Structure 1
Amino acid sequence: MNQQFAVIGLGRFGGSICTSLNEQGMEVLAIDVDEERVSKYANDATHAVICDATDEKALKSIGIRNFDHVIVAIGDNIQSSILATLMLVELGVKHITVKAQNDYHEKVLNRIGAHQVVHPERDMGVRIAHNVVSKNVLDYLELSDEYSIVELRAGNIVDGKSLETLDVRAEYGCNIMAIKRDEDVNVSPQAEERLQKGDVIIVIGSDKDINRLESALFDDTNDDD
């Protein structure tokens, strides 16, 4: 059975979530106080309603407590975001994810009971910064303050070498989760797998260890492309 989602706030962030969930076949209720926004995303959700998410009676009337996951994507009004989250917590919603504008906003959201707080603009900024600093890093996902998952492009240094020879886990404390080669993805590759120039290597580890790995094996800045 598909999970039931409700998205409160249909700006660019909330609207994109509705569209993505809908494309994945999920049941989605799109909510906003703005009639124009509700109309805009009516076709990207199972249902779309005009509702003030800071009004407890209004939330009860649309059965918000019956949804598996409610995402508060209100982006331009911190007070409304906090009040809506508080209402959802008091109504006993199972899982609440909220978009935070800043660190102070996040602290308040955590204090009142949000289950997950996200910083889409900040997180995207971090990813872009990693991508522009190093041409070897194709994508970056921060798991915590110290651990991340990165995509590294294989160059001349590792071309033709097996994972057993490189021994990334023992030498650098990182784990290779998968290797992407053209359209093929090899999840949990075996030790005898040999890398080829152009492969995309998906690595998990501490930021310190990943940096050591990148410098030692994926820094081809002095090599011919």
Structure 2
Amino acid sequence: MKKEIAVIGLGRFGGSIVMELHDMDVDVLVIDSDENRVNEYQEFSTEGIIGDSTDEAMLKKIGIDNYDNVIVAIGDNIQASILTTLILKDLGVKKVTSKAQTAHHGRVLEKIGADSVIHPERDMGRRVAHRLVSSSVVEYLEVSHNHSIIEFSANQKFENKQISDLTLREKFGISIIAIKRDHDIIVSPDANTTILDGDILILIGTDEQLGLFEDKMDRLK
């Protein structure tokens, strides 16, 4: 059975989610107060609604509570974002994912019941910063308040060594949870796995632990 997802707010962020979901063959309902935006994403959605997402009666009428996930991607009106999130939870929507503009906005969304809060601008800033500071970091993802995952391009000091020889857990407290090799992914590699030229190591640890690791690797270049 196909997943059904609704996206409220069709700015750049909301619009990009709609197109990605369409490519993943997900049924998408789009809602925006701007008719032009709804028309723009018509070909990527199964249904488009022109309306005010703070109108509880309208949301109830279209059966918003039947959707597996509702994305509140409103970017220019914090009050509407908060009120929409609150109404969706009151209507019994299974999962509400809301976009936050600021840290304070995010805390409010969490307090009123958003199941997931995303900070796209902040997260993108952090990802870019990590790439700028460490040329070996090819990707960065925050997974909790103080834990993150990085994709690290193995340098010559890693090549042809087994994971056990690297002693990353002992030295830094971080773990290799997967290895990207060509077009394959080695999940939960064992200690005897040998690192090869071109491998991308997927590492998890606290922000402090990963920071120390990145600093050490940059100094060794």
TM-score, scaled relative to structure 1? 0.92
Partner of 2:209: 209
Partner of 1:123: 123
Q: Alpha-carbon deviation of 1:66?
A: 1.1
Alignment of 1:121-160 (within 5 A): 121-160=121-160
Q: Alpha-carbon deviation of 1:176?
A: 0.7
Partner of 1:98: 98
Q: 1:104 to 1:209 in 2, by over 3 A?
A: closer
Alignment of 1:6-17 (within 5 A): 6-17=6-17
Q: Does 1:64 find its partner at 2:64?
A: yes
SS at match of 1:219: helix
Deviates more, 1:22-31 or 1:180-189: 180-189
Partner of 1:219: 218
TM-score, scaled relative to structure 2? 0.93
Alignment of 1:30-69 (within 5 A): 30-69=30-69
Contact 1:68/1:95 (8 A) holds in 2: yes
Partner of 2:176: 176
Distance in structure 2 (CA, Å) of the matches to 1:99 and 1:134: 28
Contact 1:30/1:47 (8 A) holds in 2: yes
Q: Does 1:84 find its partner at 2:88?
A: no
| Letter of the structure 2 residue corresponding to residue 130 of structure 1 | H
Distance in structure 1 (CA, Å) of the matches to 2:114 and 2:192: 45
Deviates more, 1:142-151 or 1:188-197: 188-197
Distance in structure 2 (CA, Å) of the matches to 1:116 and 1:143: 12
SS at match of 2:218: coil
| Letter of the structure 2 residue corresponding to residue 81 of structure 1 | S
Q: Alpha-carbon deviation of 1:174?
A: 1.6
Q: Alpha-carbon deviation of 1:219?
A: 3.2
Q: Alpha-carbon deviation of 1:215?
A: 4.1
Deviations along 1:130-179, one digit per CA (max 9) or x if unpaired, are 11011111111111232110011111111211112223233332211111
Partner of 1:185: 185
RMSD: 1.6
Distance in structure 2 (CA, Å) of the matches to 1:109 and 1:31: 20
Count, aligned residues: 221
Distance in structure 2 (CA, Å) of the matches to 1:96 and 1:190: 37
Deviations along 1:188-219, one digit per CA (max 9) or x if unpaired, are 22222211233211011112222333344x43
Contact 1:156/1:220 (8 A) holds in 2: no
Q: 1:106 to 1:24 in 2, by over 3 A?
A: same
| Letter of the structure 1 residue corresponding to residue 147 of structure 2 | Y
Q: Does 1:112 find its partner at 2:112?
A: yes
Distance in structure 1 (CA, Å) of the matches to 2:212 and 2:119: 28
Distance in structure 1 (CA, Å) of the matches to 2:145 and 2:90: 30
Distance in structure 1 (CA, Å) of the matches to 2:91 and 2:41: 26
Partner of 2:74: 74
Percent of residue pairs bearing the same amino acid type = 50
Contact 2:134/2:214 (8 A) holds in 1: no
